[in-house]
Amino acid sequence: GRKRVEDELAHLSLHDGLTGIPNRAFFLETLRKSVARARRAGSRVAVLLLDLDRFKQVNDRLGHEFGDALLVDVARRLTDGLRAGDFVARLGGDEFVILFENFGHDEHAAGLADKITDVLAPVFRLEGQEVSVSASIGISTFPECGDDAGSLMKTADVAMYRAKESGRNTYHFYSRSVHAEMSRRSQLEADLREAMRQDHFDLEYQPIADLRNGRIAAVEALLRWNHPDHGQVRPLEFIPILEATGLMNRVGEWVLASACAQVKEWQRTLNRPDLGVAVNLSYQQLLHRRIVDQVHRILTNAGLEASMLTVEINEATVLENPRVVREQLQLLAREGVRIALDDFGTGYSSLQAIRQLPLSTIKIDRSLVMSLPTDPEDVAVVDAVLRFAEDLDLEVIAEGVEAQAQLDFLAERGCALGQGYLISPPLPVASVDSFVSTNWRAA
């Protein structure tokens, strides 16, 4: 009767419509009570915030219905796989959260995070498809990371992003060091704005050698920021900030223009009209609707032939949004610019997906090159990439070549081009002339 209906309504407002597990409201209410109890008892509470890795791609690739079915399965695995006392809820989208009470040491919370990882590890079989799912988990604890539900959620979120940044499929505790990192980041952001006003950016150029004859085929422009207090800041640290703050387009345009003008000058002064230049493009730059006009204008101003410029897009960028990235690359390729897939081997793109991109070059990531020639698995992958590239008539560059044994292996397998400290580190402008004109093996 009436009671049933009321129960039903109460259930609906506290549970997630898709998966049937508790929703955000229910979770926050439970967390509030739990924190109040812990405060009285002097005990601890942990919030584990879990975000599925690359769920958006699964959705894009296999459709929303499939995505929904997958979320239902993930919810089921979490509720079935964890202890009855662990309160599991869905916050929305591909975000889940787990409340962990009455634990002593951080290791227990870490143990639960490991358990979650294990529970999600076996492949999901749905509608005749198999997909693997991993998650990035942020952990915050009461009382260390916040003294109410809201701040615990916020700090777990910060920690979750940190887990994403450190390569996904992992967990991260919110801590003062994360906090320190956040404030360093906002300081860097302010400093970057200043750097843009004051021209504190610079480029170095790393030679790319033809492994057969030692000739320098091209140079890759690499962005450098000399911070007035911290000295050189690594691009992997400041480029994400430039991206997040929308400043990357302006810096990227400067990189393109400087690199094209510089290489045109080297082509003339070194009498090397065939010397190419590679420039990295970030996701944001690639998606900019005027990128093709921008590249066209820069090439014209520099007087550089389009085919002398290679833009490098890394695998992570392609995975962000394969369809849109492909469309933008096609427009650039139509300009006559060459396209390289950077850091190949770090993501999970299939060779099939890569086939659909208008590539001229594949750059094999340092992480694969590093374990050559001893690791049989990496040897097999590199071999497969080389064969694939040959079939499609793509150029291959091995990145991060540091040892002679790696180089010998690559050359023997027919990899034409290499880049890495063994050949040369990135060089300041003034040192490039002599390096290029003497060639690497002669030097």
Applying CB under 6 A, which residues contact ligand C2E? 206, 222-223, 234-236, 239, 252, 255, 280-282, 312, 314, 342-343, 366, 399-402, 419-421, 426
Task: Tell me which of Mg ion, ligand C2E, none is bound by residue 86, counting a contact when its beta carbon lies within the kind-specific cut-off of 5 to 8 angstroms.
Answer: none
Report the residue number whose CB is nearest to ligand C2E.
420
Question: Which residue type occupies 47?
Answer: V
Among 13-21, 37-45, 59-67, 309-317, the segment contacting Mg ion (CB under 5 A): 309-317
Tokens 């089921």 belong to 76
Indicate whether 253 belongs to the interface with Mg ion (CB under 5 A).
no
The CA-CA-CA angle for residues 93, 98, 102, to 5°, reads: 165
Instruction: Give CA separation, 384 vs 13, 355, 359, 388, 417, in Å.
Output: 53, 14, 17, 6, 16
User: Do 125 and 142 meet the contact criterion of CB atoms below 8 Å apart?
Assistant: no
Tell the smallest beta-carbon distance from residue 344 to ligand C2E (Å): 10
Task: Tell whether residue 94 is a contact of Mg ion (CB under 5 A).
Answer: no
Single-letter code of the amino acid located at 413: R
Angle between helices 429-438 and 248-269 (to 10 degrees): 40
Q: Which two tokens stand for residue 38?
A: 């812990």
Look up residue 74 and give its two tokens.
Answer: 């993930």
d(CA 51, CA 37): 27
**Nearest-approach distance from CB 234 to ligand C2E, in angstroms:** 5
What does 22 bind: ligand C2E, Mg ion, none (CB cut-off 5 to 8 Å by kind)? none
Length reported for the chain: 443
Element (H, E) at 28: helix 24-41
Q: Tell the smallest beta-carbon distance from residue 351 to ligand C2E (Å).
A: 20
Specify the residue, 134 or 346, whose C-beta has the smaller distance to ligand C2E. 346
Distance of closest approach, residue 393 Cβ to ligand C2E, in angstroms: 23
Report 365-404 residues binding Mg ion (CB under 5 A).
399
Query: Least distance in Å: CB of 243 to ligand C2E?
Result: 8
Decide: is 157 part of the binding site for Mg ion (CB under 5 A): no
DSSP conformation class of 306 = G
Question: Which residues lie closer than 8 Å to 198 by C-beta, 6 or more apart?
Answer: none
Query: How many residues sit in the footprint of Mg ion (CB under 5 A)?
Result: 5
**Helix, strand or coil for residue 154?**
helix
280 binds Mg ion (CB under 5 A): yes
Toward Mg ion, which CB reaches closer, 50 or 397? 397
Nearer to Mg ion, 21 or 341 (CB): 341
Direct distance between the N- and C-terminal alpha carbons of the chain, in angstroms, rounded to an integer: 90
Between 53 and 399, CB nearer to ligand C2E: 399
Q: Which does 282 bind (CB under 5 to 8 A by kind): Mg ion, ligand C2E, none?
A: ligand C2E
Q: Is 343 in the site for Mg ion (CB under 5 A)?
A: yes
Q: Considering only CA atoms, which of 252, 201, 268 is closest in space to residue 228?
A: 201
Residues in a beta bridge with 418: 209, 398
Side chain identity at 185, as an amino acid letter? R
Nearer to ligand C2E, 60 or 402 (CB): 402
Q: Is 267 in the site for Mg ion (CB under 5 A)?
A: no
Task: Between 191 and 312, name the residue whose CB sits nearer to ligand C2E.
Answer: 312
Find which of ligand C2E, Mg ion, none residue 223 binds, CB within 5 to 8 Å per kind. ligand C2E
Residue in 342, 385, 410, 415 binding Mg ion, rule: CB under 5 A = 342
Under rule CB under 5 A, residue 315 binds Mg ion:
no
Output 23 or 314, the one with its CB closest to ligand C2E.
314
Take residue 53 and report the two structure tokens written for it: 């890795």
Closer to Mg ion by Cβ: residue 364 or 436: 364
Taking the C-alpha atoms of residue 153 and residue 336, their distance in angstroms, rounded to an integer, is 49
Quote the CA–CA distance of 121 and 133 in Å, as a whole number.
7
Which residues in this chain contact Mg ion in the complex, by CB under 5 A?
A: 280, 312, 342-343, 399
